[in-house]
Amino acid sequence: MVATILCFSGVALFCGCGHVALTGTVTILENHFSKVTSDNAMLTDIIQLMQYIIYGIASFFFLYGIILLAEGFYTTSAVKELHSEFKTTICGRCISGMFVFLTYILGVAWLGVFGFSAVPVFLFYNMWSTCAAMKSPMANFTNIDSICVDARQYGIIPWNATPGKACGSTLGDICNTNEFYLSYHLYIVACAGAGATVIALIHFLMILSANWAYLKDASHMHAYQDIKMKEERELQDITSRSKECLNSYT
């Protein structure tokens, strides 16, 4: 339950905040860094593709979290208490092993997503710190227009984009816009959501591994009990036949 709630919360934060932050980023670039639509057409297409991917991630992890929650319930001792017979099959153990492998792959993938989501946080932080330095009373700049942030050097927009950079008071105006403030903080929350999802998947991985070991031990225990019951039955048959032979002889 804890892992499922953490997974749902992390994915919801990442997908929701990331989607809105990407929209705000496009608005900032189109209004201040690349005013010619053809210059940032490829970037716009990539951001739209990323937003569609976000839709897919949200849908997939909603279903996957429910499946893992159900799998966790059905491989705990509660099932053994509810049913008189608790038997495991090879298919059930294979399904549990498949979930362990798939969760491990998803955990590694989300580590990459977590690192990738930190990139826009770093870029926005650089811009925010530049604006804060210009506004600081301790700063002593002779020419404030020489302080610039060039979006082209990050590879976000092509080098032929105009104006491509923001300097001085223009840069300060960008930092004061609602789009910048909202996008910056939403990227931080999205990065935190990705980190929470990584923690949830690690938690799921530990739970699935423990459940798989439980199923394996339960199967061995049932095999031992079957052999034991068979031997006891054979021993009883031998004892009853011996008594019959002794009675007939007597």
Q: Residue 238 domain-assigned?
A: no
Is 174 within 8 Å of 32 (Cβ atoms)?
A: yes
Q: Residue 220 domain-assigned?
A: yes
What pLDDT does residue 42 have? 79
Q: Residue 229 domain-assigned?
A: no
Q: Residue 242 domain-assigned?
A: no
Q: Residue 239 domain-assigned?
A: no
- Taking the C-alpha atoms of residue 47 and residue 53, their distance in angstroms, rounded to an integer, is 10
What pLDDT does residue 25 have? 87
What pLDDT does residue 31 have? 83
Domain count, the chain: 1
What pLDDT does residue 78 have? 45
What pLDDT does residue 129 have? 87
Please name the amino acid found at residue 246.
L
Is 245 within 8 Å of 238 (Cβ atoms)?
A: no
Q: Residue 231 domain-assigned?
A: no
What pLDDT does residue 82 have? 43
What pLDDT does residue 250 have? 62
Q: For 9-55, give the DSSP string.
A: HHHHHHHHHHHHHHHHHHHHIIIIIB-SGGGGHHHHHHHHHHHHHHH
> Around Cβ 154, how many Cβ atoms within 10 Å?
13
What pLDDT does residue 242 have? 67
What pLDDT does residue 90 have? 63
What pLDDT does residue 140 have? 61
To 5 degrees, how large is the angle CA 59–CA 181–CA 196? 40
Domain range for 42: 1-224
101-145 pLDDT, tens digit per residue, is 999 999 999 999 999 999 999 988 988 888 888 777 665 665 677
pLDDT < 70: residue spans in the chain:
76-93, 137-143, 215-228, 231-232, 234, 237-238, 241-250
What pLDDT does residue 27 have? 86
Q: Residue 68 domain-assigned?
A: yes
Please name the residues in contact with 108: beta carbons below 8 A apart, sequence gap of 6 or more: none
> Which sign does the torsion angle of CA 16, 19, 24, 28 carry?
positive
Q: What is the token pair recorded at 109?
A: 């993938």
Coil, strand, or helix at residue 166? strand
Q: Residue 244 domain-assigned?
A: no
Is 158 within 8 Å of 39 (Cβ atoms)?
A: yes
